Structure formats: C-alpha cells, structure tokens
Amino acid sequence: MLDQITAQVRGIVWLTSKPLADLPNHFQDLDYLFDGIISKKISHSESTDQHFEKNLFSGKSFEKDLLLIQLWGTDSTKLNKELIEALALVPAKDDGSKIIVLGEEASKFPEKNFKAKFKMKYQILT
C-alpha cells in the first residue's frame, strides 16, 4: 500500500468494518505513514473507553499536507454523509489531487457520487 503514495495523493479514505482498537487491515502501514499518531489515538481511546466511528488524521507526505479519513460501520447512508463532510477537508482538492480508498469496506465507496462533487482522482485498493 505504501508504494501507492505519490506526491499527488492528498487524502486516504480508510473504510473499515471494525474500530481502530481492533487494528483493521492496513493499520501498520498507515500508522507508519502518519508517524505513530494512530497508535497514540488508540492508546488514548482505550484509556477513556471511547471508540469513534470517524477519525481524521493530518500528516505530511512529499512536503504536502495529507489527510487520513478513517470510517467504520456498514450503514451506507451514514457513510456517504460522513464522506461528504470529510472529503471537503482534503487540501488542494481542485488541483487534480488523488484520493486513495482502502480497507475491508472500500468496495462500498460510491466513486461516481464523489467525482462530480470533488474534482479529485480516486484509486480504490482492495
């Protein structure tokens, strides 16, 4: 997965079937890419017994801002609403930037809905 991160990638959408504390697929790669901040979030969440359905992480890649959007759950309507709000936060979304979509639920990503709304390229990794 890390080999897919290029200078054009400005966001990663990580759609999982379980919360972060359960260490979903791609956890280690993404934690590495975001300098361990995901592990820190889990550690804090476990100490407070909180699990969030939406998590946003900000980092840098190729000297540019990079946003990680992690969502878990199976409700497609709720997922779409959360994605609209989160994708609006992606930096430089009108400059041909790219979003990588991955995770166990990546096949549920409604690419057609978002291509019209946000002028970004989407790459779905399974």
What pTM was computed for the model? 0.90
Q: Which residue has the tokens 């409700």?
A: 75
* Average pLDDT in the chain: 87
**pLDDT tens per residue across span 60-78:** 999 999 999 999 887 888 8
CA distances from 72 to 3, 23, 63, 69, 93 (A): 24, 12, 29, 10, 23
Q: Which domain holds residue 91?
A: 2-124
**pLDDT tens per residue across span 102-125:** 999 898 888 888 887 888 899 999
Q: What was the pLDDT predicted at 107? A: 87
Q: What was the pLDDT predicted at 50? A: 56
3: confidence class by pLDDT, cuts 50, 70, 90 = very high
CB atoms within 10 A of CB 23: 15
Number of domains making up the chain: 1
Nearest to 14 by CA among 68, 91, 82: 68
